[in-house]
Amino acid sequence: MILDSKTPSGPIGDKWDRRKFENKLVSPANRRKFQVIVVGTGLAGASAAASLGELGYPVKVFGIHESPRRAHSIAAQGGINAAKNYRNDGDSVYRLFYDTIKGGDYRAREANVYRLAQVSVNIIDQCVAQGVPFAREYGGLLDNRSFGGAQVSRTFYARGQTGQQLLLGAYQSMMRQVNAGTVTLHQRREMLDLVVVDGHARGIVCRNLVTGELESHEADAVLLCTGGYGTVFYLSTNAVNSNVTAAWRAHKRGAYFANPCFTQIHPTCIPVSGDHQSKLTLMSESLRNDGRVWVPKSQGDRRPPAQIPDADRDYYLERRYPAFGNLVPRDVASRAAKAVCDEGRGAGDSGLSVYLDFADAIKRNGEDTIKARYGNLFDMYARITDENPYQVPMRIYPAVHYTMGGLWVDYNLQSTVPGLFVLGEANFSDHGANRLGASALMQGLADGYFVAPYTVANYLGGTNLPPVKASHDAFGAAKADAQGRIDKVLQVKGTRTVREFHRAIGAICWDHVGMARTEAGLAGAISQIRTLREEFWLDVIVPGDANNLNPGLDYAGRVADYMEFAEVLALDALERRESCGGHFREESQTPDGEALRKDDEYSYVSAWEFKGVGAPPELHKEPLIFEEVHPTQRSYK
Amino acid sequence: MVVKLKVWRQAGPGQPGKLVDYVADKVHPDMSFLEMLDVVNEGLIRKGDDPIAFDSDCREGICGSCGVVIDGIPHGPDKGATTCQVHMRRFKNGDTITIEPFRARAFPVLKDLVVNRSAFDRIIAAGGYVSMNVGGAPDANSLPIAKAMADQAMDSAQCIGCGACVAACKNAAAHLFTSAKISHLGVLPQGEPERDRRVVRMVEQMDREGFGSCSNEGECEAVCPKKISISNIARMNRDFLRAIV
Ligand SMILES: Cc1cc2nc3c(=O)[nH]c(=O)nc-3n(C[C@H](O)[C@H](O)[C@H](O)COP(=O)(O)OP(=O)(O)OC[C@H]3O[C@@H](n4cnc5c(N)ncnc54)[C@H](O)[C@@H]3O)c2cc1C
Ligand code: FES
């Protein structure tokens, strides 16, 4: 199959207008004749459901959470980008577009990214009108900050809870549609399959997580907004119930999976404290504006940090990257931390952490200023580690944070299954090989408020969709599959818990598909994953039964999917024999250890087609064509 | 360290439940409270027993999923923290810890420590929003809002909808939750046009859900992990009176 991105022709600035004009419309009276399903209520799902409901489409919304407001988006801290140029500091739609393409290390589709930058300005207007309490200046206008090393201040924020406030805005708009009767909520429901009839997505099978019942829901279009797959690594900054299940099951029904190896490791997280650890906590990137990162100069220096004089410290980011210093992009900072720890110079009992030191900032600006800037983060750190970061330097280490890869979508956000649209972190579309800080919230809301409402309408208005009932055979077959899988996992009755297996698959991925990847490591990882998958189906123990609330069973299904997914994750990393963004192949680096891209060979999107569990998936390539931005080697020296 | 647990076990909605004793050994002081429960559950699963059901997701105090009553206090001993933010170093070796669900008529127990708080969603659906459609928003800076006002809105908007306020209240009232949303939207100019309609509809829905009445004891504010102020309730009452007269 040739992957057609369906990108409109014409100058980049006109493409989206052109597409909106070419799109079919659905008249207001006809909208109520279509049924739309939205799976997921994070920023992408809630904003899409609200917008489609407002337009008059009947929308059924699904989510694994008790309430839509609990979706993982709620946890985003730092902020959301928009090209408003309220600071008069030289920002523009074009600059945000350029920064995103460059930050993504030239592995994203130009037209999608340009549209994202264009609609970013509308997002802020929309959110303010909803009552999102963004930070303001004394003059009453919105405040901005510079984030993740950007040279302009384009990040809007609501204290350290930007994701929460944006999600509540979208959730409230969606609840208004619930009240209006256009949107109906189906919470504590897990999508277990996509139902495809005559080549079109026509509904889903989901499990009621309270009663255990399997349900069929038919639709004319299905929007998947189910987030990322960071929890394949077991430990990550993601909420613990995040999963790849919905996306993976759709993949097995024909949706290609794109760039799974593009994962983001965030440099500033609280280090692992022991085996019991269930998740890792992010310390906002903004800390690097004032904190200085260092480790001891010599190996095995176990002195407490206060007793290590400046002469014995290595401020390695400032040393290696004099221009950007502590503010280098996430992937660069993460790899540098790993390198010094691998040299045996790491801090803490485990040797797997580096210092983030505020002593100089406190001396320069006073403790009160630092408290005003980062008070809540310092409190959070103290609560978790029992150490006072005003007196002792913080200890941080990189952790899995975000997944740029996801289901392949065209410019219209439609997957390779017609009628299946994919929004937010679940798709691969906008961030290339590395996402810039504060751009995921922007993308989720762009997709949901401003892109999908147009492209879904075009699909509904321009496609002949004969009525399908939930009694159709395809639903019965999908239900039987889902039931079979549940029965099978309950029947194993082995000796190892799901968590043990999750930890094991996570360790394989972290060691070999983490910050540094090699040919031999990846090949070995693939065979380890296969073995572990076999062991899972022979030896897992899952408690209880399938007829009531059983979180252990839900968890087993998600980890079982990771056992399959991890293989394509590693395979994608193996096949991409270049370094770019978050994907670092040790074989492909410059003499001074920086990532080396190979544009001649790898300037494409990898889209994998499922061919059966254990069978090699087929690789399809969507070439990336750069008409606006000329790819150059990133340099932060 | 070793701690003894007394945990509320209940097979399903409307079924009888009771406190059951467990021992958690190999507890590390750096573990979070929920990680301690994870470890207990691992042990139960290996023995073929039914693990203790509880809700959690973000495990950093923002999603509002977690929430149990620890030794009689919703979210436990730490002020301004959720259950998932409590660490075992707060307890001593040999302590006995009682763990129960958030109890309220409007929060039926689904299983063990898991309750159904969807009544909160219905209160929001009744009016907890600004009625505006996507597409119609003016430029975000066209309307300056005093910083103090924006900060006040944010103080109220921080509510995570966990329901600890309801669990702490002897009347199981939802006034703190409801009033926080009313204040958030009510102090902002964007929320002003619907201020009267919003308060009436949300308060009526709160009553319909079976939440109790407020007797001003302040237990809600004391346990709120986001330190939402009880002054929101006074504001809601004033707005309600203004709206109906
Ligand atoms: C700690 C942290 C901080 C972050 N900070 C920032 C930031 O400052 N700025 C920024 O731009 N980005 C940030 N990010 C990234 C950003 O938060 C996410 O990428 C984004 O919120 C994802 O939104 P989403 O709508 O795609 O998915 P999610 O919010 O993950 O929502 C997924 C939804 O799908 C549902 N779901 C999942 N699986 C199933 C299933 N099988 N069946 C049914 N429903 C299902 C869930 O119930 C949920 O409703 C941060 C991420 C983390 C982890
Ligand atoms: S698990 Fe999210 S608040 Fe505790």
Catalytic hit among A330, A335, A435, A576: A330
Residues of B whose CB is below 8 A from A185: 121
Q: Does residue A120 sit in helix, strand or coil?
A: helix
Helix (H) or strand (E) holding B243: helix B231-244
Atom 21, ligand 1: residue with shortest CA distance: A73
Q: Are B40 and B5 in contact (CB under 8 A)?
A: yes
Instruction: Tell me whether residues A75 and B63 touch, CB distance under 8 A.
Output: yes
Please choose, from the candidates A535, A552, A546, A528, the residue with its C-alpha nearest in 3D space to the C-alpha of residue A501. Answer: A535
Over residues A283-342, the pLDDT tens digits come to 988 899 899 999 999 998 999 999 999 999 999 999 999 988 998 888 889 999 999 999
A171/B124 touch (CB, cutoff 8 Å), yes or no: yes
Beta strands in chain B (DSSP E): 3-10, 17-24, 68-70, 73-74, 96-101, 109-111, 114-115
* Position A519 pLDDT exceeds 90: yes
B186–A contact, CB cutoff 8 A: no
Ligand 2 centroid distance, CA of A240 (Å): 10
Contact B1/A at CB under 8 A:
no
pLDDT above 90: residue A151? no
pLDDT tens readout for residues A227-254: 999 999 999 999 999 999 999 999 999 9
Residues 215-244 of B with CB under 8 A from A: none
Q: How far apart are CA A583 and CA A602, in angstroms?
A: 12
Instruction: Judge if pTM exceeds 0.90.
Output: yes
CB contact under 8 A, A125 and B137: yes
Chain B residues whose beta carbon lies within 8 Å of the beta carbon of residue A541? 45-46, 48
- Residue A238's pLDDT is 98
Residues A305, A597: Cα–Cα separation, whole Å: 37
Ligand minimally distant from the alpha carbon of residue A447: 1
Judged by CB atoms closer than 8 Å, whether chains meet at B144 and A140 is answered as: yes
Residue of A nearest to B161 (CA): A69
Atom of ligand 2 nearest to the CA of B83: 4
**Domain span(s) for CATH 1.20.58.100 in chain A:** 473-599
pLDDT value for A357: 97
Q: Does A138 touch chain B (CB under 8 A)?
A: yes
Please check whether residue A271 is in contact with residue A341, taking contact to mean a CB–CB distance below 8 angstroms: no
Task: Assess A51–B contact: CB distance below 8 Å, yes or no.
Answer: yes
**What are the backbone dihedrals phi and psi of residue A620, each rounded to the nearest 5 degrees, phi first?**
-115, 145
Contacts of A93 (CB under 8 A, 6+ apart): A83, A114, A117, A118, A120, A121
- Rounded Cα distance, B199 and B244, in Å: 10
Instruction: Please choose from B65, B78, B115 the residue to mutate so as to test ligand 2's pocket, defined by most ligand atoms within 8 A of CB.
Output: B65
pLDDT in tens, A554-574: 999 999 999 999 999 999 999
Q: Which residue has the tokens 């045996």?
A: A344
What's the token pair of residue A189?
A: 């429901």
pLDDT of residue A330: 87
Q: How far apart are CA A412 and CA A240, in angstroms?
A: 31
CATH topology assigned to domain A266-401: Flavocytochrome C3; Chain A, domain 1 (3.90.700)
Choose between A1 and A389: higher pLDDT. A389
From chain B, the residues in CB contact with A187 under 8 A are 118
Chain B CB contacts of A168 under 8 Å are 157
Which of A123, A168, A209 would best serve as a mutation to test chain B binding (most B beta carbons within 10 A)? A168
**For residue A592, what pLDDT band results from cuts at 50, 70 and 90?**
confident
> Which of B35, B111, B150 has the CB atom closest to A276's CB atom?
B35
In the predicted model, what is the mean pLDDT of chain A?
Answer: 96
Rounded to whole angstroms, the Cα distance separating A126 from A82 reads: 12
Q: Is the pLDDT of residue A1 over 80?
A: no
On whether any CB of chain B is under 8 Å from the CB of A382, the answer is no
A168 in B contact zone (CB under 8 Å): yes
**Per-residue confidence (pLDDT) for residue B203, from 0 to 100:** 98
* Span A594-633, pLDDT tens digits: 899 999 999 999 999 999 999 999 999 999 999 999 999 8
Counting atoms of ligand 1 from 1, which one is nearest the CA of A46? 25
A179-193 pLDDT, tens digit per residue, is 999 999 999 999 999
Measured between CB atoms, does B78 come within 8 Å of chain A?
yes
Return d(Cα B20, Cα A176) in angstroms, integer: 42
Of A128, A449, A499, the CB nearest to B42: A499
Instruction: State the pLDDT at residue A633.
Output: 84
A393-403: average pLDDT: 97
Query: Cα(A146)–Cα(A143) distance, rounded to whole angstroms?
Result: 11
Nearest CA among A17, A290, A286, A28 for reference residue A147 = A286
Question: In the structure, what pLDDT confidence band is assigned to residue A101 with cuts at 50, 70 and 90?
Answer: very high
Answer whether A445 contacts ligand 1 (Cβ < 6 A): no
* A571-582 pLDDT tens trace: 999 999 999 999
Instruction: Give the 3-state secondary structure of residue A43.
Output: helix
Hunting for tokens 């330190």 — which residue is that? B227
Contact present, A420 and A194 (Cβ < 8 Å): yes
**CATH number for the domain whose boundaries are A473-599:** 1.20.58.100
Among A178, A450, A541, the residue with its CB nearest the CB of B125 is A178
Specify the fold of A12-262+404-462: FAD/NAD(P)-binding domain (3.50.50)
Residue-level pLDDT at A146: 86
pLDDT tens digits, A38-92 = 999 999 999 999 999 999 999 999 999 999 999 999 999 889 999 999 999 999 9
Alpha carbons A111 and A16: distance in angstroms, whole number: 8
Task: Give the chain A residue nearest B42 (alpha carbons).
Answer: A497
**Catalytic annotation on A435?**
no
Backbone angles phi, psi at A359, to 5 degrees: -55, -45
pLDDT at A636: 77
Is residue B125 helix, strand or coil?
Answer: helix
pLDDT in tens, chain B (245 residues): 999 999 999 999 999 999 999 999 999 999 999 999 999 999 999 999 999 999 999 999 999 999 999 999 999 999 999 999 999 999 999 999 999 999 999 999 999 999 999 999 999 999 999 999 999 999 999 999 999 999 999 999 999 999 999 999 999 999 999 999 999 999 999 999 999 999 999 999 999 999 999 999 999 999 999 999 999 999 999 999 999 98
**Would you state the pLDDT for residue A607?**
98
Rounded distance between C-alpha atoms, residue A167 and residue A386, angstroms: 31
DSSP secondary-structure letter at A617? P
| Among A223, A115, A132, A622, residue whose Cα is nearest residue A452 | A223
ipTM field: 0.98
Contact check, Cβ <8 Å, B140/A124: yes
- Does the structure show a pLDDT above 80 at A149? no
Q: Is the pLDDT score of A23 beyond 80? A: yes
Task: Please list the residue range(s) of chain A that carry CATH number 3.50.50.60.
Answer: 12-262+404-462
B81–A383: do the CB atoms touch at under 8 Å?
A: yes
Report the gap between the CA of A538 and the closest CA in chain B (Å). 15
Task: Indicate which of B59, B111, B124, B192 best probes the interface with A, i.e. most A CBs within 10 Å of its own CB.
Answer: B124
* Domains along chain B with CATH numbers: 3-110 (3.10.20.30), 118-131+144-244 (1.10.1060.10)
CB contact under 8 A, B11 and A548: yes
Q: Do the Cβ atoms of A86 and B185 come within 8 Å?
A: no
- Closest CA relative to residue A38, chosen from A334, A426, A387: A426
| pLDDT on residue A116 | 98
In the reported structure, the alpha carbon of residue A72 is separated from the centroid of ligand 1 by a whole-number distance in angstroms of 4
Q: Measured between CA atoms, how close is A383 to chain B, in angstroms?
A: 8
Angstrom CA distances, B163 to A170, A222, B115, B199, B201, stand at 21, 33, 10, 19, 20
Q: Judge contact between A480 and A192, C-beta under 8 A.
A: no
Residue ranges matching CATH 3.90.700.10 in chain A = 266-401
